[in-house]
Structure formats: structure tokens, C-alpha cells
Amino acid sequence: MTGYTSPKAKVEGYIEKNAVILGPTRIGSGTVIGKDVIVGYPVEKTLKSLVFSHPFDIEKYDNFSKGARIGKDCIIRSGTVIYEAVTISDKVRTGHNVLIREGSIIGEDTLIGSSAKLDGTIKIGGRVRIQSNAYLPHLTVIEDDVFISPNVCITNDPYPQSKRLSGVIVEKGAVICGNATLIAGVKIGRNAVVAAGAVVTKNVPPDSVVLGNPARFHMTRKEYDEKRETWEKAVDL
């Protein structure tokens, strides 16, 4: 597909080759939209209502898209797909091939790593770091200053495939380490740490560190920070 920018869009940033900007999208100054990015992609219900012909007509998508909002000084790297009705604040950066589904809200100065999937309506706070290949489903809430490591899997259905979903909440300042799994409905408390590979099946108290399957208390956040400080000061002999 060649590039396309909707006549309804207002773009103050920069658009690389073959990017597609649909609907009344707004893109702030200083923002870079990478090659093959799609902004304002229509939801499934809309796609099913369209009647296509050959050759493909991108204007059909454009006519129905509600557009998206992307703030100032963002970097949206190549291959990223941003659905309609997404709101992205200033200074947000994505890696390559990121998915952000409809209705999601992304706070200022947040990073979303390559191939991460925000697969539903999700709320992300400011200064969040989501590393590559993380999976966040519908109803997930991530508060400010959270760090999510590579390959973290968050779930929202305790009894797949049930008709009732329950989102995970990760409170401010928490750290979720690599390959951890958070089971539907749990809350990770403020400044808590979930160790690598842990499977969290119940709420994690604030300022605690949990590990294992199922995850259990290991130490306090204060002890964790002290160990990290010692590690950072260590010098190889």
C-alpha cells in the first residue's frame, strides 16, 4: 500500500514513506510517523460493514475512521498500527511493529517497546516503560512510572473463554520483570516488584517483592532497592 493522508487530518509533524493517516487524526509538532505506520485504523465492526471492490480503495477506511490523537515530539516507529479513538500524549515513543487498539490512552513520556501489543482499551500513565513483546489485554490499567520488562503477559479472563473479563491494575512505581504473568483481576500494589518468571494469582501488597509460581512474598521493596544499589556500585576486579 502506498502512503495516504486524509484530507480531514491535521498533521504538524513529519510522515515517512508509505504511512497511512486516516480520519480526523491530529498529530502534534515535532512528531515523527515512521514508514508503513497506520494511524486511525477502523475497528472490526466498521470493517465488516464496508463493501470492497478492486482495486482496493483506502478512502473507504478514511470515510469511517474516527481518527486518533498523537501529541507533540512523539516517535512512532515503522510498522506500528494505531487504531481509531486512541489518545497519545506528548513525547511518547514506540518501537517497531507495536499495536495499540481502539480507545487506549497513553500518558506523556511513555515508551512502548518493539512488538508490544496493547490489545484492547487500555490506560497507560506517564513515564511508563513497556519493553519489547509485552502483551497487555483489554481493561488493563498501568499507572505512572511503572516498568514492564520484555515478554510480560497480562491476562483478563480467569476462565477462558468466559463472557466476563477482569482487568489487571498495576499501581504507580511498580516493576514487572521479564516473562512474568499477571492473572486476570489482580492488583500490583504501589512500588511492588514482580520477579522474573513469576505467576501472580492474587493481589501483591505495596512495597513488596514477590517471586515464584504462584508468586509469594520474598522481600520488601526497601531491601530490593538496597540490593540494586549495591549491585550498581560493584566494580569487577
Task: Examine the domain organization and report whether 147 and 122 are in the same domain.
Answer: no
For residue 53, pLDDT beyond 80: no
Tell which of 99, 126, 153 closes a domain. 126
Tell which of 93, 126, 159 closes a domain. 126
Task: Examine the domain organization and report whether 35 and 92 are in the same domain.
Answer: yes
How many degrees, rounded to 5, is the angle at CA 25 between CA 21 and CA 26?
115
Number of domains in the chain: 2
Task: Examine the domain organization and report whether 12 and 98 are in the same domain.
Answer: yes
Once rounded to an integer, what is the mean pLDDT over residues 49-61? 78
Once rounded to an integer, what is the mean pLDDT over residues 64-87? 97
Task: Examine the domain organization and report whether 52 and 121 are in the same domain.
Answer: yes
Task: Examine the domain organization and report whether 225 and 165 are in the same domain.
Answer: yes
Single out the residue of 134, 125, 91, 83 nearest to residue 106, CA to CA: 125
For residue 121, pLDDT beyond 50: yes
Q: Left if phi > 0, otherwise alpha if psi is -120 to 50, otherwise beta: which for 97?
A: left
Once rounded to an integer, what is the mean pLDDT over residues 196-215? 98
Tell which of 103, 126, 149 closes a domain. 126
Once rounded to an integer, what is the mean pLDDT over residues 174-191? 98
Give the tens place of pLDDT for each residue, 208-229.
Answer: 999 999 999 999 999 999 999 9
For residue 32, pLDDT beyond 90: yes
| pLDDT over 70 percentage in the chain | 97
Q: Residue 234: its pLDDT value, please? A: 85
For residue 57, pLDDT beyond 50: yes
- Look up the pTM and report it: 0.94
For residue 73, pLDDT beyond 70: yes
CATH number at residue 83: 2.160.10.10
Q: Residue 47: its pLDDT value, please? A: 84
Task: Examine the domain organization and report whether 155 and 120 are in the same domain.
Answer: no
Q: Element (H or E) spanning 135, and its range?
A: strand 135-137
Once rounded to an integer, what is the mean pLDDT over residues 58-70? 92
- 1 falls in which pLDDT band (50, 70, 90)? low
Task: Examine the domain organization and report whether 107 and 162 are in the same domain.
Answer: no
- 231 falls in which pLDDT band (50, 70, 90)? very high
Single out the residue of 211, 123, 216 nearest to residue 175, CA to CA: 211
Q: Residue 206: its pLDDT value, please? A: 98
Give the tens place of pLDDT for each residue, 90-113.
Answer: 999 999 999 999 999 999 999 999
Q: Residue 236: its pLDDT value, please? A: 62
Q: Are strands 208-211 and 216-220 parallel, antiparallel or unpaired?
A: antiparallel
Once rounded to an integer, what is the mean pLDDT over residues 160-182? 97
| Torsion sign (Cα): 43, 44, 47, 48 | negative
Average pLDDT along the chain:
95
Task: Examine the domain organization and report whether 21 and 119 are in the same domain.
Answer: yes
Once rounded to an integer, what is the mean pLDDT over residues 7-11? 97
For residue 237, pLDDT beyond 50: no
Domain that holds residue 216: 134-237
Once rounded to an integer, what is the mean pLDDT over residues 69-82? 98
Task: Examine the domain organization and report whether 109 and 175 are in the same domain.
Answer: no
Task: Examine the domain organization and report whether 64 and 115 are in the same domain.
Answer: yes
**And the C-alpha cell for 216?**
509469594
